[in-house]
Structure 1
Amino acid sequence: MLYIFDLGNVIVDIDFNRVLGVWSDYSRVPLASLQQNFRMDEPFHQHERGEISDEAFAQQLCAQMSLPLSFEQFSAGWQAVFVGIRKEVIDIMHKLRAAGHRVVVLSNTNRLHTTYWPEQYPEVHAAADAIYLSQDMGLRKPEPAIYQRVLEQEQVPASEAVFFDDNAENIEGARQVGITAVHVKDKTTLPDYFATVTC
């Protein structure tokens, strides 16, 4: 089997409120205002597909949110999204590989984040056979083409793949191409799932 794991809130806990908190501290713009104005819209999606640079994304987002930040301040906040590793998921990934399964990561991310999390959480690379990132592929979840690309690269039919993600839209995108998809709603989802599945 091919097991495909999302990164954020599946393997690594993330929290965008931490990002907004850092930006609020730097800019003195009230946190409530930032929470109201922060949107994952087209520039966000373009950034995840690698279509615009980190600097261009920062400039657009700061203009959208009326944030007077330097790129360094923007970056410091952007990296604050990462909270910590879910060790229990890393253990599951290792167990799956030891049983002969293929284990990969498929993440919507961006260049700026990949300057941080691979060094901060080397356990992710150590537990995966391959890592597929949206900005390298020019695609992002839930676009069906990104799941098809992973299946082609792995040379596995959709019927032999299982995908885990915390986003319902991404789950639906995977199901559209025939992949079994499990919605990760909290930290108990994966341990509970594998408690009933023989590796």
Structure 2
Amino acid sequence: MPGGYLPIHVHARQLFLTYAFSVTLCVGGVVCRSPLIAIADYEREHGLPNNYINCAITGQGAHGAWQKFERGELSLFPFYEAFGHELSDTKVNNVWYAQYCKRRGIECPNLPGKLAINGRELFGRMMRDSGSFDEVVVEAIRRIRAAGKWRIIALTNNFSKTGADIIAEAPPSAEQYPGLTIKSELAFLGWEEGPTPPRLRVLFDDFCDSSALGMRKPEPGIYHLACKRNGIHPSEAVFLDDLGMNLKVAQELGMETIHVPLGNSLSAIKKLEDKLGIKLTREPEPTMHPNAKL
């Protein structure tokens, strides 16, 4: 089995980290900035209730545009169209949001009567905003790798096609997207280095990409496949994710889990420090007293 042993003499745990396009799905929220932040900003700017778009995405179950896209079943431009259409369907989305409020025990606010959400514009904003790395998590990864005891595995809901492949299967019409080129579209998405930059992949010992595997979190199969590829049992894994539904399935399969709160990865990394028994964070820079002398 890959890895060594923890200080408490149980088998070493493998570290699973997710990064972006999960939306909200699972595009991120751990190694990279969460796309949920861009969604929340969009909702505020357009007068939508908090979490309305997320409810619209998850309400589609396994067969929505987002879910198909992350499994590699939809190419980019057909995804844009289907995504915008689904998010604009207030008839079903209002029902799902009212059910969400009831489950949470909160008062349902006024809901939109009509929406026209541009799927390309929203997705582009999500991707551009989630392109930066969380340095707290990156530092932890570097320290774990330097220790040489544990494998680090990315288990991510993602879209991995690059270059000409992003439009080859279903090219956009020149009438709808005048002047569009592969280069301009990649720049629009913040994907100049591709959806998964090489500098991200090199952080991991294995990179399990939903769109390449044809499965996505929280489908149990992708967790099992990630473990099988790395020669471990789920009970030998510590799994970090920003979404409760992904963590729930991981727990049911026997993984240890750590929730990564939005905007507070440090708390999750501190929990991981306790599990692994090594220092994963930098000490804060000392603050010089205003009257101190050099």
Give the Cα separation in 2 of the matches to 1:92 and 1:70: 35
Q: How does 1:99-178 map to 2 (within 5 A)?
A: 99-100=147-148, 101-111=150-160, 116=191, 122-178=198-254
Residue 27 of structure 1 corresponds to which residue in structure 2? Answer: none
Per the TM alignment, residue 158 of structure 1 is displaced from its structure 2 partner at its CA by 1.8
- Give the counterpart letter for 2:226 in structure 1: V
Aligned to 1:32, which of 44, 47, 68?
47
Native 8 Å contact 2:155 2:207 kept in 1? yes
Larger Rg: 2
Residue 85 of structure 2 aligns with an amino acid whose one-letter code is: A
In structure 1, what residue type is equivalent to 2:270? D
1:187 aligns with 2:265: yes
1:184 to 1:75, Cα distance in 2 relative to 1, 3 A: closer
Which of 24, 33, 49 is equivalent to 1:13? 33
User: Which structure's residues are more often strand, by fraction?
Assistant: 1
Aligned length: 192
2:68 match: 46
**Which of the pair is proportionally richer in helix?**
1
The alpha-carbon distance between structure 1 residues 164 and 117, as it changes in their structure 2 partners (threshold 3 A), is: farther
Normalising by structure 1, we get a TM-score of: 0.80
Conserved 8 A contact 2:241-2:258: yes
Q: Output one character per residue of 1:62-85: Cα deviation in whole Å (capped at 9) or x when no partner.
A: 2232547595x5663342341521
1:37 CA displacement: 5.3
Aligned alpha-carbon RMSD (Å): 3.1
Kindly tell me: are residues 159 and 74 of structure 1, through their superposed partners in 2, closer, same or farther at Cα, counting changes over 3 Å? closer
Structure 2 letter corresponding to 1:198: G
Q: Which has the higher contact order (CA 8 A, sep 6+)?
A: 1
One of 78, 89, 96 as aligned partner of 2:137? 89
In structure 1, distance between residues paired with 2:192 and 2:141: 18
Per-residue deviation, residues 145-167 of structure 1 (Å, max 9, x unmatched): 11000000001122221110011
TM-score, length-scaled by structure 2: 0.56
* Structure-2 separation of matches of 1:108 and 1:70: 18
Structure 1 Cα separation of the partners of residues 154 and 119 of structure 2: 32
Distance 1:69 1:169, change over 3 A: closer
Hey, what's the Cα distance between the residues in 2 that align with 1:131 and 1:44?
A: 20
Whether 2:158 is the aligned partner of 1:79: answer: no
Change (3 A) 1:108 1:118: farther
CA displacement, residues 83-140 of structure 1 (integer Å, 9 cap, x when unaligned): 5211121111111122221001111122479962865865422321121111111111
2:229 match: secondary structure: helix
Give the Cα–Cα distance (whole angstroms) in 1 for the partners of residues 119 and 238 of structure 2: 41
User: Between the two proteins, what is the percent identity of the paired residues?
Assistant: 20
Deviates more, 1:85-94 or 1:36-45: 36-45
8 Å Cα contact 2:30/2:260 also seen in 1: yes
Inter-partner Cα distance in structure 2 for 1:84 and 1:4: 19
Look up the SS of the partner of 2:245 in the other structure: helix
Could you tell me how far 1:56 is from its partner in structure 2? 1.3
State the Cα distance separating 1:32 from its structure 2 match.
Answer: 2.1
Structure 1 counterpart SS, 2:152: strand
SS of residue paired to 1:47: helix
Tell me how far 1:170 sits from its aligned partner. 0.5
